[in-house]
């Protein structure tokens, strides 16, 4: 289970002021402070705290991977023994081309896969080489896998909390 860090009113105001992005102002945290109605020192303190507790994963930029030439995005799904998924998750997650890696529930008989790893390549050939690399790592714990390529983005918005 993920620990929940309750947000107070000031945190919430900071989240609302920054969830669509940081202002492109030489003093961005001052601009956030104005919008949230608290001091810049308070904004910086709270954001450092949220980074520490993991409420903020990181502050930075997210490139559009299509724009950078990563056009083949494969959701690779694997059926591995439940008792080995933690160990394999750590190993597969450490591979440099894996961006997300999760254990998820099976839906038998339609969906036998309990382990997901998202991989990104410039083309499908690159993704297939990455998948062979994962398969080699997983070894005989691989009881079956598939690559599901995204064929269309139907919707993509950021996460939002409402004010």
User: Minimum distance between the CB of residue 26 and another protein, rounded to whole angstroms?
Assistant: 6
User: Minimum distance between the CB of residue 140 and another protein, rounded to whole angstroms?
Assistant: 20
Chain CA centroid to CA 37, Å: 30
Interacting residues with another protein between 99 and 118 (CB under 8 A): 99-105, 107, 110-111
Query: Of 63, 62, 59, 64, nearest to 28 (Cα)?
Result: 59
List 8, 67, 136, 163, residue binding another protein (CB under 8 A): 67
Query: Of 22, 135, 159, nearest to 74 (Cα)?
Result: 135
What count of residues does the chain have? 163
Alpha-carbon span 114 to 80, nearest angstrom: 7
Q: Binding to another protein by residue 133, rule CB under 8 A?
A: no
List 70, 131, 138, 145, residue binding another protein (CB under 8 A): 70
Helix (H) or strand (E) holding 72: strand 72-78
Q: Binding to another protein by residue 144, rule CB under 8 A?
A: no
Size of the site for another protein (CB under 8 A): 79
Q: Binding to another protein by residue 8, rule CB under 8 A?
A: no
């Amino acid at each position: 289970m993920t620990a929940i860090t309750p947000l107070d009113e000031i945190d919430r105001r900071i989240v609302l002021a920054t969830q669509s992005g940081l202002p492109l102002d030489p003093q961005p945290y001052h601009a956030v402070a104005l919008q949230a109605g608290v001091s810049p020192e308070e904004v910086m303190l709270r954001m450092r705290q949220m980074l520490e507790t993991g409420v903020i994963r990181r502050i930075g930029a997210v490139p559009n991977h299509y724009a950078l030439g990563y056009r083949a995005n494969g959701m690779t799904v694997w059926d591995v023994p439940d008792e080995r998924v933690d160990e394999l998750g750590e190993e597969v997650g450490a591979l440099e081309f894996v961006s997300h890696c999760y254990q998820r529930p099976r839906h038998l008989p339609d969906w036998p896969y309990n382990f997901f790893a998202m991989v990104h390549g410039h083309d499908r050939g690159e993704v297939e080489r990455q998948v062979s690399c994962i398969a080699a790592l997983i070894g005989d714990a691989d009881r079956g896998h598939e690559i599901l390529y995204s064929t269309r983005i139907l919707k993509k918005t950021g996460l939002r909390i409402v004010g």
